[in-house]
Chains A and B, each alone.
Chain A
């Protein structure tokens, strides 16, 4: 599979070529990711810095585990803004994160179909 928004080869190596585990992780991701993404969106809309920091941190961890580096970096940027106390400008970085998240959701679906076959 080509290297897209997440690195399939890296993920496969992280699970030590265990495709069943990979499938498990993708299914967990499919269930958990939208919840945290939504929580982050709400926190950004309400400008709740602490919650933005904690949700961004969780999303960064999930995306790193999935070898989705672009998404992990976008989440890390949001976390860093909170850590630096720059709480006024979350809109732009969140929009960027959300764009990647949409693309990622599609790729995960397609990857899941491939792994399940």
Chain B
């Protein structure tokens, strides 16, 4: 465990440093309060600190105040060392954000015992952070596939559409559905179905770029958001993903299971400013069209304005032919 030792007095610093090293700590030494505060506020700075009260540039309580103010992400356990010992001093030191207080000259065993208390608190903090991160993951990811869950992928879509509209770029929305998934469950069982879903998620993730988003939209439906996707290449990208899914059967416990996906694609730039729900509905209609076209294919949602443009171009061509 790393520890910062801050004392402007050379003898005290040397004594503290050596005592801490002997106790197995990795010691960083500072000669004044400013150095100490800067070191402790670094992202990977020490999480334990022994601070002399009286130091040049910034005193011990000043270091505590600054660290508490600047470092919000993780806790630093700080012990003030001083020959000040009035009640008012103790109150001032703890009020500044110190966790403990030890009078000088210190007893090595007492110092180590106090630091062990600090380590217990830091370990508790680590466990709490770990639990919080686990809960955060569970709240945002699908339990089976570990993809973004429906709520999160919808939020991301909303955000991406707003961003692409603001920046005049295009986002491709891809809604994909495993073909004949009910048959997989009926033929091989639900455990095999779960294996297929997991493998599909893995293949989808490895087929998109690191800044695209993939989420589980429903049972066997997946929603992909391809950010900044050039409209001219969106269909090609969707086809690549579809082929990556169908390339090899899933090697499930029950044996190899061939899979394919039908996909609906919508290119946001072609639809102007429409509500997300409307765009999703159109993407879903394109997916439905892909199912109707025999499955294992991609269909693009065409905006009414493009259909009208296309119709007028065709009418123009017919007039010319006459």
Measured CB to CB, the residues of A under 8 A from B are: 14-16, 18, 21, 24-25, 28-29, 32, 54, 57-58, 60-62, 64-67
Contacts and interface: CB of A to CB of B under 8 A. Distances in A.
B14 A28 contact: yes
A65 B10 contact: no
Closest 10 CB pairs of A and B: A64-B105, A21-B18, A28-B11, A65-B11, A28-B10, A65-B105, A62-B11, A61-B9, A16-B108, A25-B11
Contacts of B190: none
B22 A14 contact: no
B134 to A, nearest CB: 41
A65 B15 contact: yes
B104 interface: yes
A67 B105 contact: yes
Nearest to A16: B108
What secondary structure prevails in chain A residues at the interface with B?
helix
A64 B104 contact: yes
Interface string B7-40: 0011110110011001000000000000000000
Given A58-B9, A61-B83, A14 B108 contact: yes
Contacts of A32: 10-11
Interface in B101-152: 104-105, 107-108
Interface residues of B, number: 15
B20 to A, nearest CB: 12
Contacts of B11: 25, 28-29, 32, 61-62, 65-66
A24 B14 contact: yes
B32 to A, nearest CB: 14
A14 B107 CA distance: 7
Given A61-B83, A64-B83, A64-B105, A15 B18 contact: yes
A18 B10 CA distance: 18
7 contacts: A14-B105, A16-B108, A32-B11, A61-B104, A62-B12, A64-B105, A65-B105
B22 A25 contact: no
A60 B14 CA distance: 16
Contacts of B19: 15-16
B249 to A, nearest CB: 68
Contacts of B9: 58, 61-62
A64 B22 CA distance: 21
Nearest to A33: B11
